[in-house]
Amino acid sequence: MVRVLENYLAHSGKALSMRSGAIALYHELRAKKARKEALSGHDLQRIRDGALTLIEERQALLDTALAYECWTASAPAAGVPGKIQRLGVLISLSSALMLYDNYLMAISLWQGDKDLRRHLNQMDLGEGLLSAEELQRVNQMFTSADNRRRVRSAIQWYRQHVAETDKANPCAPADAEFADYAPACRYLRTFVEQSPSFHMVAKRRPFKIMGQTFEIFGNLAQDALFRLQRESAHFSSLLFGNTVGLVETRHGKLYQQPVVEKDIARVLQAGDILLEKTPFRLTDAFIPGHWGHVAVWIGTKEELEELGIWTHPLVVPHQAAIRSGRGVVEALRSGVEINALARFLNVDDLAVVRMVELPPEKRRAAILEALRHVGKAYDFNFDVESTDRIFCSKLIYLVYGDTNWPTSRFLNRFTISPDNIAQRAAETQGPLTPILIYRDGRKTPATPEAMARLLSGS
């Protein structure tokens, strides 16, 4: 089951990234159509590649959903076997709900748009890579009453045997092999309970409740989602932001706070490390410890000119972005990007930490190393011993590669978490020093002791 869980987490992460990309690409191409511009060859290639990735990841999720569906036929046994059974059902249910969510949030956008749907239906017919029949099968599975019945049965089993049991550690058996998997189990539970389809499929006749019969090639998939938002308390403020299509239950306490943004911008220096906490996001449930995300501030045009690297080949492609205020390099599930500080500040907690005694040559090297990774894909394996794909704390691990960072074993490989980064700022004589800390939306003293208290949960 360890290997099953690892594989599922990797596929689910890729599926979430795919969902975000499909939504972003749709709006980009829809705007192009509205301007009466022709889609470029690159646009058509992106549609093709995205559709093929969708089919590939969809099949992986479908296989996982079917693999443990039969485990809902009986109540869980006592002890470790019963906990393994709950884990299997949780993985199966999460897979099924992700398939439904992907349709509601992303595929329905394309299916409801006759112009863009035409490109999908006609894509690569000669090579047999994709066809209208394949897309029709996706639609039929979404609208199938039998599939909804089967998923509804799994939801009922989940509510009876998982949701109300083992709240602290819902699925991992008391076994050394599973000792590090509690965060993954909490992530799966949070995903299930925040899924829009969890609330929709549980209803016996969801489309009647939504007001009308679902039509495959109409706009009703989008309408259904918005009606569902009004019905469910979990959708009181559904957002699709830089969490790659994951659900946010609210905005962060530092969101759109100009005074806070100015305070932070005033103290930031190129090379500073930014830590954040977002308990209202699904991804936060997956990250062990206090801090859930980490990024690096590469500085302003003026700072980079002063450091003598404004015209460096690694900087030049990003000059326009930096001029516009985008100075946060971060690894999101959509890949490594440069984003604005204002976007990053949709958080509850924030810490700015700085390398102690960082000479100009090392500051230059750190900034250039961060830019070297922009555009790389997200590392869903969370493997710190590779450089082709990046996750958030691994970015810092590579940017400051000569620092002795603490690592841990997770998913059978060495990894590093945002808390591991923060640990070096909690040491009195450590390589990092806290410069600024906001806790629960309020500014607090920035000291190693304050960072240590956050890491300890006090």
What are the boundaries of each domain within the chain? 2-235, 258-456
pLDDT digits (tens, 9 = 90+) for 309-338: 999 999 999 999 999 999 999 998 778 999
| 249 has pLDDT over 70 | no
The pLDDT assigned to 33 comes to: 80
The pLDDT assigned to 423 comes to: 93
| 215 has pLDDT over 60 | no
Closest to 295 measured CA to CA, from 335, 328, 270, 265: 328
CA angle 69, 234, 340 (to 5 degrees): 110
Closest to 187 measured CA to CA, from 284, 294, 57: 284
Q: Are 93 and 151 in contact (CB under 8 A)?
A: yes
Closest to 296 measured CA to CA, from 350, 353, 335, 357: 353
| 242 has pLDDT over 60 | no
| 228 has pLDDT over 70 | no
pLDDT digits (tens, 9 = 90+) for 6-65: 778 777 777 777 777 777 788 888 888 888 887 777 777 777 777 777 777 778 888 888
Segment 240-252 mean pLDDT: 50
Beta strands in 341-424 (DSSP E): 349-355, 408-410, 413-415
User: What topology does CATH give the domain 258-456?
Assistant: endopeptidase fold (from Nostoc punctiforme) (3.90.1720)
The pLDDT assigned to 89 comes to: 86
Percent of the residues in the chain that have a pLDDT greater than 90, as a whole number? 28
DSSP line for 96-146: HHHHHHHIIIIIHHHHT-HHHHHHHHTTTTTTTS--HHHHHHHHHHHH-HH
**What's the chain's average pLDDT?**
77
Q: How far apart are the first and last CA of the chain?
A: 34
pLDDT digits (tens, 9 = 90+) for 386-438: 888 898 999 999 999 989 899 887 666 788 989 999 999 999 888 999 999 99
The larger pLDDT score, comparing residue 177 to residue 395, is at 395
| 245 has pLDDT over 60 | no
